Structure formats: structure tokens, C-alpha cells
């Protein structure tokens, strides 16, 4: 992450290993069950997008999941939640080790999600948006029976257009607010964020999902930011016009998805707070992690069923997450 010296605006660093895993032979990395390990973090929204996609499509048996802890230093994401502080499959303490195996002398950002080839220990890709789409398309032969179509051909243009606005103004927009180094840059990001959230609220007032009548990749993209909004972005990143709980449409929409299998069962609010408040020392130099907000409201009725829609289209909900991937329920 960085900031433009002249404008004071937050600038997201480029991705360092943007390969692809394909089934059609268009890349050197073939789709193959058991070959890759997805490294994510419960705290990170970009990783959360891919973890949700993997869950909904039922790829848990084909792609194992490693979880980096919420705290890290300049050496990168670290497996400090695992016994001995080492990922049990990759045998590494810091994710940087897998990047350096892929690119000797690697000096770009070490980010999650990262897909790692288990045998070589090399990062194959950290291109999260392409990875999401490829899980829906290239990995189709390994989807569970009843897996939903998250990237339906007839809606791809609309999903892409909506997704671009959500990325720039919402997903990345909260970071632009939080890491702005000047008042004008902050206010521009703040205005764009809330203009987009207001537009999305209007869009969702009469429809259950963003595109069509089923969950698509567009919903996953928006939801990961909404899920972290009150826990981190409202206070920590100064995105504080309203709390999510004060926005009737978006709060109901977010609860609806939280209570849908594959969404809320990927979230750990404590790890989210530990990461944002504990790692971003330029924003929160004391490292004090807030006790609130109370997350129990996520389980309250949302009433969005009245708008119709079929969450999984012609498919079915995913089963429970594997025992070693379960997260605490809001209490």
C-alpha cells in the first residue's frame, strides 16, 4: 500500500504474481484437485471473496485452505494461529517464503489471497479477481453437485460494470478514506464512497440481489466490505457518515447474505478487528483494539425474502464448512 505524494490519495500496489490456473491449456498451471493450497486470512476482504466463492462452489476437497493470522509485520502475513507458527501443509511461517520461491528476490507486496502449488511451495497467483472468475469457470469440472452459477454468461457485462464501481468506490474506497494523507483526498474518497453506497441502496431497495434474481460474484464483492464496515471501516477508516446498521436497505441485504450458507460462516469479527486496529499503526498507533460493536444483530430477521429471488438459482446451498474451517458464531 502507498500514498501519492502530490495528491495524498491512497494507491493500491500492483499484484506481483498474476498467473492463472486454467482447464483449457491457456496457462502453464492446470486445474488439478489437490495440487494447490489457497492461502487467505479471515481479516482480509480480498481473500474473503475467494474463500466465499470456494465455499459456494464446493471446492473444499479440491483446494485446501490455509489461514494466515490477523497480525503481521514487514515480513508479511504469518501463520501465527497454527501450531508452531507454521502452515501445516506448506511448512512455512511467513507467506513471503512462498512468493520468494516463485520469484527469487521478490520485492513486491505479499498479499492474500494467494494460490500456492503444494509440491513446489511456489505462489502461482495472487490475482484475486481473476481467481474468483476462474474458480467459477475453469474449475467447473470439480464443482459440487448443485453449485450455483456465480458468473452467469447472460449477466457478465452487468456484473463487470457493477463490480468496477464497487471496487473503486467501495472495496478500495474505504482504504482511500483510511489511508488518505491529506484532507482533500480524504473528502474525495469519502464523497465517492457514500455516493456509491447510496446508489447501491436504491438499487437494492426493490430487488434482493445486485444482478438478476440469484447470488452472483457482484454480491460477493460488495458484501465483504459491508461485513467489515462497522467493525473496522466506520471508525478506523473514518468512513463515518453512517454505520451499516443505520442504513436500512444495505443492513438488511448484508444480514440476508450473512445468514446464507457460505457467507457468514467465513467471517471472524475478532480477527477482523485485530488486523485493522493492530497492524495499521499509521492509523492507530496505540494498537488498541475496540471491544465493540456487538455483532449479534447479524442474526436478526432481515425480511428480504419478500423481494423473491432464488439465492442459488437452480442449485443448492453448500453443506457445513469442514470442521477445521469453522468460525465463531456472533454472540
CATH number of the domain at 280, please.
1.20.1050.10
Indicate whether 12 pLDDT > 90. no
Kindly state the percentage of the chain with pLDDT values over 70. 95
Residues 132 and 158 in one domain: no
Binding-site residues, please? 77
- Predicted confidence band of residue 18 (pLDDT cuts 50, 70, 90): confident
> Quick one: pLDDT at residue 2?
55
- Predicted confidence band of residue 144 (pLDDT cuts 50, 70, 90): very high
Question: Among 142, 172, 204, which residue terminates a domain?
Answer: 142
Give the domain CATH number at 32: 3.40.30.10
Q: What is the pTM of this model?
A: 0.95
- Flag whether 95 is in a domain: yes
Indicate whether 76 pLDDT > 90. no
Residues 96 and 77 in one domain: yes
Residue 22 domain boundaries: 2-142
Residues 54 and 183 in one domain: no
> Quick one: pLDDT at residue 140?
97
Residues 212 and 164 in one domain: yes
- Flag whether 330 is in a domain: no
Indicate whether 310 pLDDT > 90. yes
Indicate whether 14 pLDDT > 70. no
- Flag whether 84 is in a domain: yes
The residue ranking higher by pLDDT, 331 or 273, is 273
- Flag whether 219 is in a domain: yes
**What domain count does the chain have?**
2
Residues 133 and 172 in one domain: no
pLDDT in tens, 259-291: 999 999 999 999 999 999 999 999 999 999 999
Residues 238 and 299 in one domain: yes
Question: Among 142, 166, 182, which residue terminates a domain?
Answer: 142
CB 290 within 8 A of CB 277: yes
- Flag whether 148 is in a domain: no
- Flag whether 104 is in a domain: yes
- Flag whether 300 is in a domain: yes
Question: Among 117, 142, 167, which residue terminates a domain?
Answer: 142
Residues 45 and 77 in one domain: yes
Residues 92 and 167 in one domain: no
Known catalytic residues?
Answer: 44, 175
Mean pLDDT of the chain: 94
- Predicted confidence band of residue 6 (pLDDT cuts 50, 70, 90): low
> Quick one: pLDDT at residue 108?
85
Indicate whether 7 pLDDT > 70. no
Indicate whether 9 pLDDT > 80. no
Residues 138 and 157 in one domain: no
Binding-site residues for glutathione, please? 77
Residues 194 and 74 in one domain: no
> Quick one: pLDDT at residue 15?
54
Indicate whether 8 pLDDT > 80. no
- Flag whether 331 is in a domain: no
> Quick one: pLDDT at residue 109?
86
> Quick one: pLDDT at residue 276?
97
Residues 303 and 218 in one domain: yes
Residues 266 and 313 in one domain: yes
Amino acid at each position: 500500500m502507498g500514498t501519492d505524494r502530490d495528491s495524498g490519495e491512497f494507491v493500491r500496489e500492483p499484484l506481483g504474481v498474476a498467473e492463472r490456473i486454467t482447464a483449457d491449456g491457456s496457462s502453464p498451471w492446470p486445474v488439478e484437485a489437490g495440487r494447490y493450497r489457497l492461502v487467505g486470512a479471515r481479516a482480509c476482504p480480498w481473500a474473503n471473496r475467494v474463500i466465499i466463492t470456494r465455499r459456494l462452489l464446493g471446492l473444499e476437497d479440491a483446494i485446501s485452505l490455509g489461514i494466515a493470522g490477523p497480525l503481521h509485520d514487514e515480513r508479511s502475513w504469518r501463520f501465527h494461529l497454527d501450531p508452531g507458527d507454521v502452515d501445516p501443509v506448506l511448512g512455512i511461517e511467513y507467506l513471503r517464503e512462498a512468493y520468494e520461491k516463485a520469484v527469487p528476490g521478490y520485492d513486491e507486496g505479499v498479499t492474500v489471497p494467494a494460490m500456492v502449488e503444494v509440491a513446489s511451495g511456489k505462489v502461482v497467483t495472487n490475482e484475486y479477481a481473476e481467481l474468483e472468475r476462474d474458480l467459477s469457470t475453469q474449475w467447473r469440472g470439480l464443482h459440487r453437485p448443485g453449485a450455483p452459477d456465480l458468473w452467469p454468461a447472460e449477466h457478465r457485462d452487468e456484473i463487470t460494470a457493477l463490480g468496477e464501481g464497487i471496487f473503486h468506490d467501495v472495496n478500495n474506497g474505504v482504504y482511500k478514506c483510511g489511508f488518505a494523507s491529506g484532507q482533500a483526498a480524504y473528502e474525495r474518497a469519502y464523497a465517492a464512497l457514500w455516493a456509491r453506497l447510496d446508489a447501491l441502496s436504491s438499487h437494492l431497495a426493490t430487488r434482493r440481489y445486485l444482478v438478476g434474481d440469484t447470488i452472483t460474484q457482484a454480491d460477493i464483492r460488495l458484501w465483504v466490505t459491508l461485513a467489515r464496515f462497522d467493525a473496522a471501516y466506520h471508525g478506523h477508516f473514518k468512513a463515518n457518515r453512517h454505520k451499516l446498521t443505520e442504513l436500512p436497505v444495505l443492513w438488511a441485504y448484508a444480514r440476508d447474505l450473512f445468514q446464507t450458507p457460505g457467507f457468514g460462516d467465513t467471517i471472524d469479527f475478532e480477527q477482523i478487528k485485530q488486523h485493522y486496529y493492530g497492524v495499521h499503526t499509521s492509523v492507530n498507533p496505540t494498537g488498541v483494539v475496540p471491544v465493540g460493536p456487538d455483532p449479534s444483530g447479524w442474526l436478526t430477521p432481515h425480511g428480504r425474502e419478500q423481494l423473491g429471488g432464488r439465492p442459488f438459482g437452480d442449485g443448492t446451498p453448500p453443506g457445513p464448512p469442514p470442521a477445521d474451517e469453522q468460525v465463531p458464531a456472533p454472540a
